[in-house]
Amino acid sequence: MNLTLKVWRQKNAQHKGRLVTYTATDIHEHMSFLEMLDVVNEDLIKKGDDPIHFDHDCREGICGACSLVIDGVPHGKEHATTTCQLHMRHFKDGDTIYIEPFRARAFPVIKDLVVDRTAFDRIMAAGGFISINAGGAPDGNAIPIPKPDADKAMDAAACIGCGACVAACKNASAMLFVAAKVSQFAYLPQGRVEREKRVRAMVAQTDIEGFGGCTNQYECEAVCPKEISVSMIAKMNREFFRAATTTK
């Protein structure tokens, strides 16, 4: 298939960006969206032009690097799909596709479609871990964990830190990401020891990074490639309230 691409090109955070039109020709329906961009870039490189810069790593829906807004939707319109797992069979010959970077004050553009998402790393560094020395691996089932709690912790742990929730939110809120990371530990006994300290520190860092507040728009849940539920936000709010009313 042949496509018209309107791609955001921006030299760096200081320069103004703009949409530039490219054609993508002979694109196979089984190619991924990133493979389609690879084809376009090969053409640009052959012509001596600057290739389109975009972020990617695993290309398997695991790392969360492939942060593109496709036709106005972070990761595109396919439900629960990362950009790298989006296939060109979901587009038609002759389509025009708009490709832009995630837009949020806390995610400044580095170049073209690549944004700086290290704000997420700093939120994790503030408290998204268990600091105790847990020693060697314990025997299986040494700590009994109710199945519903284990399931919820696993659901929260599915967050790949892609930032699509931020890009979809009109407030650029990082609440779904932070809630997933807080909940992942809060549901398990190993994580509960530091629960107050963790939620306070992660929420404080989120504010420092300049993310907006949550006003229950649910856009985050709609675009999340890992189907993280907004119920995690309710869990995080309960954790935060608990921490605020605890003297520890």
123 near ligand SF4 (CB under 6 A): no
| Binding of ligand SF4 by 211 (CB under 6 A) | no
CA distances for 139 relative to 142, 152, 184, 191, angstroms: 5, 22, 21, 18
Q: Residues in the chain, how many?
A: 248
The pattern of x and - marking residues 136 through 165 that bind ligand SF4 according to CB under 6 A reads -----------------------xxxxxxx
Instruction: Name the minimum Å distance from CB 136 to ligand SF4.
Output: 31
Comparing CB distances to ligand SF4, the nearer of 97 and 182 is 182
Side chain identity at residue 118, one-letter code: T
Residues contacting residue 71 through CB under 8 Å, at least 6 positions apart: 77, 97, 98
Q: What's the CA gap between 76 and 78, in Å, rounded? A: 6
In sequence order, the 6+-apart residues with CB closer than 8 A to the CB of 32 are 59, 84, 85, 86, 87, 88
Write out the binding residues for ligand FES, residues 79-108 only, by CB under 6 A.
82-84
Stretch that binds ligand SF4, among 44-52, 110-118, 205-213, 220-228 (CB under 6 A): 220-228
Binding map of ligand SF4 across residues 34-73, x = CB under 6 A, - = no contact: ------------------------------x---------
